[in-house]
Structure formats: C-alpha cells, structure tokens
Structure 1
C-alpha cells in the first residue's frame, strides 16, 4: 500500500504546484476551467486541488469564482527573504564572536515584540541561558534596552504598556521612570549594557541595527568577570552593526 501511496502523493503535489504557477501567471483572478485547461488537468482533479489549496490558504477564491494566490504564499515568500538576509549576515556575526570571544546576538523589533533573530555561539563563547523569553525581558537585557532606546516615544510607551517589568535578578530595573532615565542617560553613547540584570553572572552590551525601517540590536554576552572588556568591545560592535544593517537591508 505504501508503495502505491508515495507516487500518488508526489503526483498530487506536482499538480498543486502546476496550479499555483498557473494562478501566479495571471495578474487578476482566473477561473477553474481555464486553470484546468492550462495545466492539462481533468476538471474534477483541478477543482478538488483548488478547494484544498483555498482551505489551506495557498489560494484565495474571489467573489466572482476566480482564483488568486493566497496570503500563506506571501508569508512563505517573506520568510524566505528573512532567511536569505540572515544567511548574509551570519558570517559577520561569526567574525564578531571569534574576534571578541563572546556569543553574538541579533534581535529585531517585529509586530510589537523584541525577538531573537540569530545567535552565534561556540564552545569558547557560550550563549546565555535564555531562561526568560526576550518578549518578556526587554527591560532587563542590553539587546532589549537598545531597541527600546531607538523607538520613538509612542512606540516605546506602547511596548511598556503591554509588558510587565518583571524582577529577574536583584539588579533588574522594575520601575518605568528609572528605566527610561537610564535609557536616555547611557554613558556609552549608542551602546547599552546590562550587568546581571537578566541573569546573575552575565554581562552584555548591545548597539542598534536596522533592517530598512525595522529597529533591531546587535550584542554580545560575557561572564560578569569580563565586564571591563565591554567598553573596548563597543567600537567593534558599532562597526559590525553597520555591516549587519547593510546586509539585512539588501533587497536582492
């Protein structure tokens, strides 16, 4: 039975791809009969596959009965662009890790949340144990605070209105007024640090990056015994952040 099912499923996948290609070749909606004719599929087969792909979001059926590409394909395309962008900057993050002997982190502010886009670590540069997700710890991490510092007042207020400033360690800043004061008075210029605010035993420094209009941050983490090296790391981080921003913003 499995020997017969495999080729049948493969053939169905191929037919579905042919239908999506045919739909994509038309600027406006295209009727099922025309799609069956253009793909060489029997009308019944075409109708069945079209209904399935509409149900799954790969196609959309308009009110006039014609078909266009669905939102899920757009999401997949956007995801592939994001993967391509990350692949372009990953070697740069690796250089940063090796040059500073520290794990390198990249975050992006997407849909109102600070999200980790990439971590490059290694045996000699272990990553921080992310025991609390970044979406709930932006106030306690250098990476999160770097993003918050770059947001305009409205976007920053919106973020803080939706997130509790949880007490993660005895050094975590949990008062909004104090957090804002520190963000605006960081002594390292564009760089922001956290020393045991997210996790005891760990210090971090981060600088801003951008992917087009999207704000993000680039940072490193080290054992707290190496906190003194963070000042020397800022210049390298800023240079690397420029390269990362260019790589993320490429549209090809």
Structure 2
C-alpha cells in the first residue's frame, strides 16, 4: 500500500474539523481550525472546501466556517429516529395484543405522512397502493387528523387534495366527509370501512408529538368489523402512551 492518506484517515480528520467548528458559535477561520485540530493548513483547507461543497459546513463572508444546513438536517432526522425508537415498543405491543398491524402518522407541512408501521407475518399491513398524502380522506389515519383540525385547516387541506374515488365506498365530497367526521360514534376514534382498500377496515385515534398532530391506528380484515368498539378501547390508552413518549424532551 502507498504512504498517502487513507480514506478512513481523511474521514477522521473531517470529523475533527466539524467538531472544532461546532465549538465556535460564530464560526472560526481555517487557520484557527487547523491549529485546534493539529492539521497542516493545506490539509485543513482541502477538507474545509470539501465540507462546504457538500453542505456540512458553510463559509461566512468574513472567512469563518460554521456548521451547514446538511448537518442540521441530519440532526433533525436523528431526533426523529430517536423519538420513534422510544414509542416503537408501544406500537409493537399494540400489534401483538390485537394481532393487527399498527401505524403512526403525523401531519407535517400540510401533509399526512406515515412515520412508522409495525407489522408481522401474522399481522400484515394493509396494501398501501396509494400514498397516504393523496388518501387522507379515505384512511382512518388521515380522517383522524382531519377530525382534529379546526375548520380553516380542514378546508385548506381539502382545497389541495382531491377526494379521489379509491373504492366504491370512498367518500368523495367534502361536505359528506366533514359531516361523518363530526358525527362518528367512535369519537375520538375514526374508522375507514373499506374506503381505502376493499376487504380492509382501519381504526385510528389522535396522538401528539409536542404540538404536532398525528394518528395511531390499526388495520384488519373486514370480517373483524364487529370488534370496532373493543379496538377503540385498546387504542385510546396506547395513544396516551405514544403521546407521552413523543412529548419527552430528548
């Protein structure tokens, strides 16, 4: 092997520069970062240019280097993973207790997005043939979120999402959808009765991650329709555990 720097060594030096830059709230120039990390100035310059190019660092007008947007994105994603790992045991317990796949969604940036699905061979997930972002009106998880939104937020969401006809049971008018949301006998739970996928029934209840609204739900074959009340009673305490887990500070 040649005597040049190895890839591992370059990665280690890049990490040292990131750590040094993060220690300075207003950033630090290349010479200072090189001195603090013990790197030759030429090596530091080369790595700093690469880190800036890839978005891990940002160079200010005065020549100082600060952490870049890509690192902030990684931090946010990592925090989300930590939150999900904290509540996944509750989803797993719900799946095992009911023998049904469990789902967790959040309402973020005006969209209903799946955050986690816990299923198994014995408790398979529903066939996700249309993305949840385009099927909020037809899924229990989406309808749970819509039920919790205020009138203006509901209308804003519905103005951006056509109520596509996914099955013969799908509700395709906003007026009827809102009427049923407000009149559901399972409140605060909401059901999807083969509106997203024929042969599949879902039930969901609201959860919160701080101020972010979400929904916890399960799916089942339609022959278990008679268990809706029982499932609602199992979902509500599980939703409380999930909300508490999501609301703890990391």
Structure 1 and Structure 2 fold alike (TM over 0.5) = yes
Whole-Å separation in 1 of the counterparts to 2:19 and 2:243 = 34
TM-score, length-scaled by structure 2: 0.96
How many equivalent pairs are there?
250
Match of 1:41 in 2: 39
Q: Deviations over 1:33-91 (max 9, x none)?
A: 11111111111111111111111111111111111111111111111111111111111
Match of 2:183 in 1: 185
Match of 1:123 in 2: 121
Match of 1:53 in 2: 51
Q: Select the residue among 81, 84, 87 that pairs with 1:86.
A: 84
- Once the two structures are TM-superposed, the CA of residue 110 in structure 1 deviates from its matched residue by 1.3
Match of 2:140 in 1: 142
Match of 1:229 in 2: 227
Match of 1:22 in 2: 20
Matched, 1:165 2:163: yes
Whole-Å separation in 1 of the counterparts to 2:23 and 2:171 = 55
Whole-Å separation in 2 of the counterparts to 1:185 and 1:16 = 58
In structure 2, stretches of 5+ residues that fail to align are none
Q: Deviations over 1:127-185 (max 9, x none)?
A: 00100010110100000000111122222222212111110000001111111111111
Query: Structure 1 pair 49/95, CA: closer, same or farther in 2 (3 Å)?
Result: same
Whole-Å separation in 2 of the counterparts to 1:246 and 1:236 = 16
Coordinate RMSD, CA, aligned: 1.4
**Runs of 4+ that moved beyond 6 A:** none
Deviates most, 52-61 or 194-203: 52-61
SS in 1 for 2:73: helix
Whole-Å separation in 2 of the counterparts to 1:55 and 1:107 = 34
SS in 2 for 1:217: strand
- Once the two structures are TM-superposed, the CA of residue 189 in structure 1 deviates from its matched residue by 1.3
Whole-Å separation in 1 of the counterparts to 2:3 and 2:170 = 57
TM-score, length-scaled by structure 1: 0.96
Whole-Å separation in 2 of the counterparts to 1:102 and 1:5 = 58
SS in 2 for 1:207: strand
Query: Structure 1 pair 5/148, CA: closer, same or farther in 2 (3 Å)?
Result: farther
What pairs up with 1:93-108 in 2 under 5 angstroms? 93-108=91-106
Query: Structure 1 pair 68/126, CA: closer, same or farther in 2 (3 Å)?
Result: same
What pairs up with 1:199-218 in 2 under 5 angstroms? 199-218=197-216
Match of 2:245 in 1: 247
In structure 1, stretches of 5+ residues that fail to align are none
Q: Deviations over 1:92-128 (max 9, x none)?
A: 1111111111111111111211111111111221100
SS in 2 for 1:122: coil
Query: Structure 1 pair 218/50, CA: closer, same or farther in 2 (3 Å)?
Result: same
